[in-house]
Amino acid sequence: MTGPQGVGIGWRSEIAGFVAELPGLRFVEVVAESLSPGNPLPAGLAGLRERGVTVVPHGVRLSLGGADPVDPARVTHLARVAELVDAPLVSEHIAFVRAGGLEAGHLLPLPRTREAVAAVVANVRRARAELPVPLALEPIAALFDWPDDELDEADFLTEILDATDAELLLDVANVYANARNRGEDPHALLDRLPLDRIAYVHVAGGAEYGGLYHDTHTDPVPTEVLELVGALCAGRRPPALLLERDGHYPPADVLRAELDALATAAGHPVVT
Amino acid sequence: MSPTHPVESAPPPGPVGLAARQAALVAALVAGAPLPAGFATDRVDAARRALLRKRAGEVARHWPLLAAGLGDTWPATFTDWASGRPTVGSLRDGWDLARGLRDRDALPPLGAQELAAREATHRYDGRHPPRRRRLPALARSGDAVALQVAGRVRLLRPARR
Query: How high is the pLDDT of residue B2?
Result: 43
B12 confidence band (pLDDT: 50, 70, 90) = low
Please tell me which residue, A82 or B155, carries the higher pLDDT value.
A82
Instruction: Give chain A as a 3 state SS string.
Output: CCCCCEEEEEECHHHHHHHHCCCCCCEEEEEHHHCCCCCCCCHHHHHHHHCCCEEEEECCCCCCCCCCCCCHHHHHHHHHHHHHCCCCCEEEEECEEEECCEEEEEEECCCCCHHHHHHHHHHHHHHHHHCCCCEEEEECCCCCCCCCCCCCHHHHHHHHHHHCCCEEEEEHHHHHHHHHHCCCCHHHHHHHCCHHHEEEEEEECCEEECCEEECCCCCCCCHHHHHHHHHHHHCCCCCEEEEECCCCCCCHHHHHHHHHHHHHHHCCCCCC
Number of domains in chain B: 1
Measured between beta carbons, the chain B residues lying within 8 angstroms of A212 are 43, 46
Looking at this protein, which amino acid is placed at residue A119? A
pLDDT of residue A31 exceeding 90: yes
**Is B40 part of a structural domain of the chain?**
no
pLDDT of residue B1 exceeding 80: no
**Number of residue pairs across A and B with CB atoms under 8 Å?**
84
**Is B57 part of a structural domain of the chain?**
yes
Query: How high is the pLDDT of residue A255?
Result: 97
Among A100, A105, A144, the residue with its CB nearest the CB of B43 is A144
Among B18, B39, B57, the residue with its CB nearest the CB of A67 is B18
Disruptive mutation site among B22, B45, B88 for chain A (greatest number of A CBs within 10 Å): B22
The ipTM value here is 0.94
A17 close contact with B: CB closer than 8 A:
no
* Cross-strand partners of A243: A9, A203
CB of A193 closer than 8 Å to CB of A216: no
Measured between beta carbons, the chain A residues lying within 8 angstroms of B19 are 67-68, 99-100
Query: How high is the pLDDT of residue B161?
Result: 60
A183 close contact with B: CB closer than 8 A:
no
Of A157, A139, A172, A158, nearest in space to A241 by CA: A172
Q: What is the pLDDT of residues A34-74, one digit of tens each?
A: 999 989 999 999 999 999 999 999 999 999 999 999 999 99
Mark yes or no for CB contact B27/A247 under 8 Å: no
**Is B128 part of a structural domain of the chain?**
yes
Measured CB to CB, residues of chain B less than 8 Å from chain A are: 17-27, 29-31, 37-40, 43-44, 46-47, 50-51, 54-55, 57-58, 86-87
Average pLDDT of span A87-92: 98
Disruptive mutation site among A12, A13, A94, A102 for chain B (greatest number of B CBs within 10 Å): A102
Average pLDDT, chain B: 88
**Is B62 part of a structural domain of the chain?**
yes
Query: How high is the pLDDT of residue B147?
Result: 87
Domain, as residue range, for B89: 52-157
What is the maximum alpha-carbon separation in chain A?
50
B99 confidence band (pLDDT: 50, 70, 90) = very high
Measured between beta carbons, the chain A residues lying within 8 angstroms of B17 are 67, 115
pLDDT of residue A194 exceeding 80: yes
DSSP reduced 3-state for B74: helix
B151 confidence band (pLDDT: 50, 70, 90) = confident
Please tell me which residue, A16 or A247, carries the higher pLDDT value.
A16
- Residue B84 backbone class (left: φ over 0; alpha: ψ -120 to 50; beta: rest): left
Q: What is the pLDDT of residues A103-158, one digit of tens each?
A: 998 899 999 999 999 999 999 999 999 999 999 999 999 999 999 899 999 999 99
A67 close contact with B: CB closer than 8 A:
yes
Query: How high is the pLDDT of residue B8?
Result: 47
Of A183, A181, A245, A189, nearest in space to A209 by CA: A181
**Is B29 part of a structural domain of the chain?**
no
A200 close contact with B: CB closer than 8 A:
no
Query: How high is the pLDDT of residue B14?
Result: 66
A96 close contact with B: CB closer than 8 A:
yes
Among A66, A102, A144, the residue with its CB nearest the CB of B30 is A102
Topology of domain A6-266, per CATH? TIM Barrel (3.20.20)
Query: How high is the pLDDT of residue A1?
Result: 59
Mark yes or no for CB contact A147/B38 under 8 Å: yes
Q: What is the pLDDT of residues B24-52, one digit of tens each?
A: 999 999 999 999 999 999 999 999 999 99
Please tell me which residue, A4 or B2, carries the higher pLDDT value.
A4
Mark yes or no for CB contact A119/B57 under 8 Å: no
**Is B46 part of a structural domain of the chain?**
no
Give the span between the Cα atoms of A175 and A193, in whole angstroms: 10
Query: How high is the pLDDT of residue A247?
Result: 87
What whole-number percentage of chain B has pLDDT above 90? 70
